[in-house]
Every structure is written in C-alpha cells, then in structure tokens.
C-alpha cells in the first residue's frame, strides 16, 4: 500500500471571524481552528469519516485512510471503462459508505447513490435516481432520514450535447436541498438563500453535513467557509444562521460524529489534502438569521 504523510497544525491557527465579516458573512459566535491536515491523493471531491478511518473521494475512486497515521489502507478504484463517472461525497452509516454519484458534465443530468462496505471497500449496492432535479452532490443521514442536494450551475459550456454547449448547466437558482424517504423518493425540498448562491459564483452547493449543534452545514465548490443553516418554520428557503471560515477549498464536508469535540473534515482540493477543523459553538444557539439583503 502507498503511504500518505500527515501533519498536525498548530492550535494557534484560528480562522478568525473577521476574515469572513469583511464581505458580508457573519460567524455569529462560531469559531474554528485547524488541528490536523493529511496529504491524501484521493482528496479531490469530498470526504467521509467514521471512528477509525476517513474516506477521501475522487471522481472514480475512494481511498480509505487511517485517522491515526494518515496511511492509505485500502481503496476502491473503478476499472478502466467502468460505470463510475463523478463521485462527490461520502457518508458512513452502520458500516456502509453511501456516495453521491452523477454524470456531471453530461446532459441531461442523472444521479445515483452508490454503496460500499467499509470493511472490504467492495461495492455492494446502487440506487439509481435517473433524471432528477440536478446533480446529486452530497448525502448525509440525520434523524432517521437521508438528506442531499441536487445542484445546478451557472457555469457555461459544462454540458455538451453532441457539439452543442448547454448554457448554463441547469441554472444554480434551481439547486435544492432535499430529504429522502426509505425508498429514495424526495419527500421535502428547500432552496438555498440567494446571498449564499452568489458566494458560489458560477458553481453550486457541493457539500453538506448535519452538525452536533443540530444545524445543517453546507459548503460550496471553492469558498473557504461553511454555511450554518436551519430548516424554516414556514416556506421553502433555508434559514442562514452563520458563515464559519474553514480551511477547505472545495467540496464535500463531513462531521466526525465519533470525535470528543465538534470536529469537521473537509478537503483542500488543489493540494489533495484532508483537513480536520475543531469548531466552537456559541454559548446560545443563534436564532436570528443572517440578513445581508
């Protein structure tokens, strides 16, 4: 097996709230500090995590790494010409890794959920969603249900039919966070506030994970920050509670639910790194939404 190096980052490397405040975001009492960084060759799309391992996700590959040493211990690699096109994220539930998968850059958009046994890294199940509301970019499990996002994009020229470019690739205003039932049918859906969509520029919501604060944390394709969201009491738009600076640069994020303190994993895509960030929550959970309108 290949080995991968890791380093521990000094605890003083706090990402101050003021770095986000300058452009209209509000940390709202949350603080963050990067405590570890792993070099991980598969860290290109997202990351999942369980008690002993983290799982770095690439388009057609998933690497299983030791949290203790950073060593690559196993992997799943799609054979040449195989069916995998574009994995985006991973969440581990009861020993199974659920990966969001799409035909990203092809049109029309299709999505599926691919399931792996974390003990063997064998592919054990698939759930095709067919042509849906966009590209499924992340999955997470919370309070008895799976949640995810069907992302759409403003990036031009991504989708190509024959020699014709489709512009935009779905229109990011159509991006929806959804809740699935046990049969993978969408039973609820919410849109993301337009101020956050603006921060994604021409891309979209790439990551999501429910935090120990009971809020849904979202990430974009590139911004070095996570957005703390709540489900609305009325209507269809998620409530934006805070923006927390995080050492990430794309895409999928994952809360480590085995950690003793609130710990969020993400990736720095250009460096092929997985970062580990400890989050401090405000003494009182924010109840007032961010208003940048």
SS (H, E, C) 208-277: EEECCCCCEEEEECCCCEEEEEECCCCCCECEEEEEEECCCECCCCEECCCCCCCEEEEEEHHHCEEEEE
Predicted confidence (pLDDT) at residue 4 exceeds the cutoff of 70:
no
Residue-wise pLDDT tens digits, 63-75? 999 999 999 999 9
Specify the DSSP class assigned to residue 20.
Answer: H
Specify the DSSP class assigned to residue 290.
Answer: P
Strand partners, 247: none
Let me know how long the chain is: 293
pTM greater than 0.85: yes
Residue ranges and CATH numbers for the domains of the chain are 6-280 (2.120.10)
| Least-confidence region, from 10-19, 32-41, 241-250, 268-277 | 10-19
- Cα dihedral 279, 177, 147, 248, rounded to 10, equals -30
pLDDT of res. 77: 97
């Amino acid at each position: 097996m290949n080995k991968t190096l890791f380093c521990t980052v000094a605890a003083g490397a706090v990402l101050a709230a003021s770095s986000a405040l300058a452009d209209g975001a509000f940390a709202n009492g949350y603080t963050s500090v990067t405590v570890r960084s792993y070099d991980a060759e598969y860290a290109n799309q997202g990351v999942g995590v369980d008690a002993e391992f983290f799982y770095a996700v690439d388009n057609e590959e998933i690497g299983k790494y030791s949290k203790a040493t950073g060593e690559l211990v196993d992997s799943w690699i799609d054979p040449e010409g195989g069916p995998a096109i574009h994995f985006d994220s991973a969440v581990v539930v009861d020993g199974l890794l659920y990966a969001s998968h799409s035909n990203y850059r092809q049109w029309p958009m299709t999505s599926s959920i691919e399931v792996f046994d974390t003990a063997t890294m064998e592919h054990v199940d698939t759930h095709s969603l067919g042509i849906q509301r966009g590209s499924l970019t992340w999955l997470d499990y919370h309070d008895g249900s799976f949640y995810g996002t069907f992302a759409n994009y403003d990036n031009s020229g991504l989708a190509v039919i024959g020699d014709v470019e489709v512009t935009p690739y779905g229109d990011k205003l159509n991006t929806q966070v959804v809740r699935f039932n046990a049969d993978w049918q969408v039973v609820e859906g919410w849109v993301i506030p337009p101020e956050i969509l603006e921060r994604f520029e021409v891309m979209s919501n790439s990551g999501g994970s429910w935090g120990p604060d009971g809020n849904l944390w979202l990430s974009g394709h590139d911004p070095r920050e996570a957005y703390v969201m709540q489900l609305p009491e009325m209507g269809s738009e998620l409530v934006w509670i805070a923006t927390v600076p995080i050492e990430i640069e794309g895409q999928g994020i994952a809360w480590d639910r085995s950690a003793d303190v609130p710990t969020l994993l993400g990736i720095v895509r250009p460096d092929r790194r997985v970062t580990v960030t400890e989050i401090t929550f405000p003494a009182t959970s924010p109840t007032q939404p961010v208003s940048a309108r």
